[in-house]
Structure 1
Amino acid sequence: MALQHFSTKDRILHAAEELFAEQGFATTSLRQVTSRADVNIAAVNYHFGSKDNLINEVFRRRMDEMSAQRLAALDQARAQHPGELEPILAAFIEPALAMARDRHGGGAFIRVIARAYAESNAGLRKFLSERYGHVLRSFAKAIAGCLPELGKDELYRRLDFLAGALTYAMADFGLIKCPPGTSEAAHRQRLAQSLIQFAAAGFRAAGP
């Protein structure tokens, strides 16, 4: 991606996102980021202060918008389809799939998310929990309203399973790649419908 027409801050974020996707957080150095962004180290220190803050900002700039879309869709689902599970799951799944197919780096960010799962970064996990934990709690509460017989621990366990399946789907991996001759929009819609049905069956399944 050509970065020259972006602001200095955005160029740093684009470069960091690409490098984190390629190499992971621990392996990527700030010097590599500045080299790819064509800026000096002072610019990184000015805008972000530290590598940890830069990592957090890479997540924040994409996840803030996605989280807002999810919560807005959740409010709409609960208002228009009270007590129905599938619209709640759609509110969680569809904004994430749309973000994944954003042509301005969405694919790279999905690989960054995969790195976050794979690498043990306590600071990042704390940041994500503090900033976005309320989103998960809102969905857990909504799902619990549809499935009052499902215990809290099992509910969160199944939400975790859904998050993993969603990340896999967002990566367009394995047998769920966009088929030739199918538009991105049609592929995303079909993928979302399949995952919603799959997740709904999983949430409604009898407990262990």
Structure 2
Amino acid sequence: MASTQFSTKDRILGAAEELFALHGFGGTSLRQVTSRADVNIAAVNYHFGSKENLINEVFRRRMDDMSRQRLALLERARREHPGELGPVLAAFVEPALALAGDRHGGGAFIRVIARAYAENNDSLRRFLSEQYGHVLREFARAIAGCVPHLDKEQLYWRLDFLSGALTYAMSDFGLIKRPAGVAEVAHRKRAADELIRFAAAGIKSDKT
């Protein structure tokens, strides 16, 4: 029974993720989700209770694991490379790009993130802040320790730009596409390395 329940819940989440990516949160109805997942509305109500909770769980399914990976890598960076900015940035960037490259819905989830930026969904933004704000604050503290010459406002401007550049890199809308014959993992590693170097130079730059 437990495996059947998990399978149903996972199908609903997968269907919702695909539809949110295509139509946005406001443009997707629960009826569309149930049709795509081949379940009835009672199953959605049982597992999630509301559309708002379903949206939240679509994010939680991906971001819980990514956040754990980020924090584990950050802890290792602090322990093995104290005061070095590059390993801290790698801990932030690499798990996100790995998620974007996940063949099991990673691309759809990146489009869902883009929807979150584009749509004015205060409830979702509040949920993301409450659930994952501590991850960003932890990275902000770690990065601040590497660039003590920056004041807090300057630091947060640069972190905001880093997050934007990372989101863009995750979406793969850029000019540089994976060359023929280059493996996806190798291409993603190159993207991470280039972004980390770019971000480190910008973050370390002196104030003017």
TM-score under structure 2 length normalisation: 0.96
Offset at residue 160 of structure 1 (A) = 1.2
What is the aligned partner in structure 1 of residue 82 from structure 2? 82
Alignment of 1:75-154 (within 5 A): 75-154=75-154
Alignment partners' CA distance in 1, 2:120 and 2:16: 18
What is the aligned partner in structure 1 of residue 183 from structure 2? 183
Q: Summarize deviations over 1:11-38 as a string: whole Å, max 9, x none.
A: 0000000000001011110000001001
Alignment partners' CA distance in 2, 1:40 and 1:154: 50
Alignment partners' CA distance in 2, 1:157 and 1:82: 23
Contact 1:172–1:178 (8 Å) recurs in 2 = no
- Structure 1 unaligned residues grouped into runs of 5+: none
Identity of aligned residues (%): 75
Alignment partners' CA distance in 1, 2:207 and 2:38: 54
What is the aligned partner in structure 1 of residue 37 from structure 2? 37
Offset at residue 174 of structure 1 (A) = 2.5
Offset at residue 205 of structure 1 (A) = 1.6
3-state SS of paired residue (1:178): coil
Contact 1:77–1:88 (8 Å) recurs in 2 = yes
Offset at residue 204 of structure 1 (A) = 1.0
TM-score under structure 1 length normalisation: 0.96
Runs of 4+ in 1 over 2 A off after TM superposition: none
Contact 1:71–1:135 (8 Å) recurs in 2 = yes
Alignment of 1:55-70 (within 5 A): 55-70=55-70
Alignment partners' CA distance in 1, 2:190 and 2:64: 25
3-state SS of paired residue (1:175): coil
Offset at residue 177 of structure 1 (A) = 2.2
Alignment partners' CA distance in 1, 2:207 and 2:26: 39
Alignment partners' CA distance in 2, 1:162 and 1:28: 31
Give the RMSD, CA atoms, in angstroms: 1.2
3-state SS of paired residue (2:175): helix
Q: Which amino acid aligns with 1:118?
A: A
What is the aligned partner in structure 2 of residue 50 from structure 1? 50
